[in-house]
A and B are shown apart, each in its own frame.
Chain A
Amino acid sequence: MIVVVDYGMGNLRSVTKALEHVSDEPVLVSRNADEILAADRVVFPGQGAARDCMKELQKYQLVDVIRTAAASKPFLGICMGMQVLMQHSEENEGIDCLGWYQGQVKAFKNNIPTQQTVNKQQSVLKIPQMGWNKIEHKNAHPLWQGIESGSRFYFVHSYYVAPKDSALITGQTNYGIDYASAIAKDNIFAIQAHPEKSAEDGLQLLKNFTQWDGQWDGAKENIQ
C-alpha cells in the first residue's frame, strides 16, 4: 500500500493518478495516522505556502506521524513536501519547518537576477520559476534509474532548498544559481519538481519509487 499524505494542501489527484498509472500497488490518500504508519511507502506532496503547510500538519496532528514515516519507510517528498523537511523557510517572513535536515529554504528573489535587480538589456528570471528545467544527477540513486542526467522536469516554485550538508544533494538544477532540486539520504528522496506532471521521465521516477526498497548507501555511490 502506498499512502499519499493528505493534509489539505493542494490537489492530490494528479499524483495519485500518476502512481496508479505506473504501479499495481493500491494507492490510498489519507490523513489518518494509523493508515500512514501502516503504509509500505509514503508520498508527501504539498503546494501553497510553507506557513499554511506547517499549520495544517499541526492541525491534523501529523508532525510526529511524518517523522516516524520518514525514519523508517521509503519516503518521497514532492515540492513543498521537500521544503518542509528543512529547518526553516524564508517564506511568510520566516517559518520553522520540520527540521528533518539542517538547512534553509531560500527565496529566489533574494538570490538571482530578477526584473527588479537588473537593467532591461540583461535577461531576467521570472518568479515563480515555472516550466521544464534540467536536473543533473549528483550520484546514482535508485530513483534515477532509466532517467538520464540532465533530463527536464516540470517545476513551479519561488523558494528553493539549501541543505547544510551538500552530500544530501542528489539532483542539481540551475536557475540563476545552482540549487538542490533533489535530496536523498537513507530511505528518503525529496524532489522540488513535480514528477506527476513531468511526462515520461516523471512517471519513470514514480515507478522507480514504487519498486524501491528504501535502501541507499549514498557514500558508496557518489559519482564524484
Chain B
Amino acid sequence: MGLAKRIIPCLDVRNGRVVKGVNFVGIRDAGDPVEVAARYNREGADEITFLDITASSDDRDTIIHVVEAVASQVFIPLTVGGGIRKVEDIRRLLNAGADKIAINTAAIFNPDLIKEASDYFGSQCIVVAIDAKRVDNNADDSPRWEIFTHGGRKSTGIDAIEWSKKMADYGAGELLVTSMDRDGTKIGFDLELTRKISESVSIPIIASGGVGNLQHMAEGVLAGKADAVLAASIFHFSEYTIGETKQYMADQGIEMRL
C-alpha cells in the first residue's frame, strides 16, 4: 500500500471560460473555471489540468487571471498547458499559483527550454506533453511512434520513446503522453505506447487520449503502467463522476485516494 494512482480531469479554457466541444466542433461555454474546478475538487479529483486554447496571443493574460482565481479557492495541484514558449511564461504561471506547467511544442523546437526551466524552477513543476502517433512498423514488426505537432497533422520524425528518455534526461518531472491515434475516439488508451514509455523512464507518466469508459481508465494503469490518467469528455458530459471512476478503479485492485 502506498502512493495512489491519480485521476486528472482536463479543462479546456478559452478567453477565461471553460469550454466543451468535440474536436473543436460545436464548442460551447461550460462555465466559470473556479466553479468547475471547485466541483471537480469536491468530487475527489487528484489534480486539475487547464489547457489554454485561447486563439489570440493578445488574450493570453486571461489564463493568468484564471489560475490566480482558481488557486485562491481550490487547494489541490493545478497544471497549466497551452501556448507556453519561454521561461518567462512559466514564471508568470507559477507565480499566479500553478503547480506544474505542461510544455509541448516549445520543447520540440527548443529542447533546452526544458533543461533551463527544470534547473531554474525544479523538475517537480515541469511536465512535458508528448503527442505521439503510430507510424509504419519497424523491420522486426514491433510498433513505432513518432512525435506529431499541429494536433497530430505534422510529423517531426522524432521517435516517441527516444524523445521521452531525452526529456526525462533534460529534467522533466513528469510526462503527459497523448495518443493522437486514440484522442477523441473513445476506444481506450494506446496501452502499448504508455507502457513502453513508462518502462523507458523513471519519472511518472500520465496517460491521455481515447478514454470512453471506466474500464479504459483502469486499463491505463494496469496494462498501460501509467501513474495517472487524464480525461476530459467523460467527466465534462457527466457520463461518469470522478467519485465513481475512482471507486471502479479501486475495485480493480488499484490504489486510489477515496
Contacts and interface: CB of A to CB of B under 8 A. Distances in A.
B3 A199 contact: no
B77 interface: yes
B22 interface: no
A154 interface: yes
B75 A18 contact: yes
B4 A152 contact: yes
A120 interface: yes
Contacts of A128: 123-124, 173, 203-204
Contacts of A124: 202
Question: Does more than half of chain A's interface fall in helix, strand or loop, or is it mixed?
Answer: mixed
Interface string B93-104: 011110100000
Contact of A10 (B3, B5, B122): B122
A199 B75 contact: yes
B99 A197 contact: yes
A134 interface: yes
A127 B203 contact: yes
Interface in A107-129: 109, 114-116, 120, 124-129
Given A17-B72, A48-B121, A203-B75, A132 B97 contact: no
Question: Does more than half of chain B's interface fall in helix, strand or loop, or is it mixed?
Answer: loop
A208 interface: no
Contacts of B76: 154, 197-199
A203 to B, nearest CB: 6
B29 interface: no
A14 interface: yes
B229 to A, nearest CB: 12
Interface in B169-225: 173-174, 199, 201-205
A56 B257 CA distance: 36
A125 B204 CA distance: 9
Contacts of B71: 13-14, 17
Contacts of A17: 71-72, 75, 97
Interface string B112-127: 0000000001111100
A65 interface: no
Given A13-B71, A18-B75, A115-B201, A132 B124 contact: no
Interface of A: 10-11, 13-14, 17-18, 21, 47-49, 109, 114-116, 120, 124-134, 152, 154-157, 173-176, 196-199, 202-203
What 6 pairs across the A-B complex have the smallest Cβ distances?
A48-B122, A132-B257, A156-B124, A126-B204, A115-B202, A152-B257
17 contacts: A10-B122, A11-B99, A13-B97, A14-B75, A48-B121, A114-B202, A120-B199, A125-B3, A126-B227, A130-B204, A131-B4, A132-B6, A133-B3, A154-B77, A156-B124, A197-B99, A198-B76
Interface of B: 1-6, 41, 46, 71-73, 75-77, 94-97, 99, 121-125, 173-174, 199, 201-205, 227-228, 257
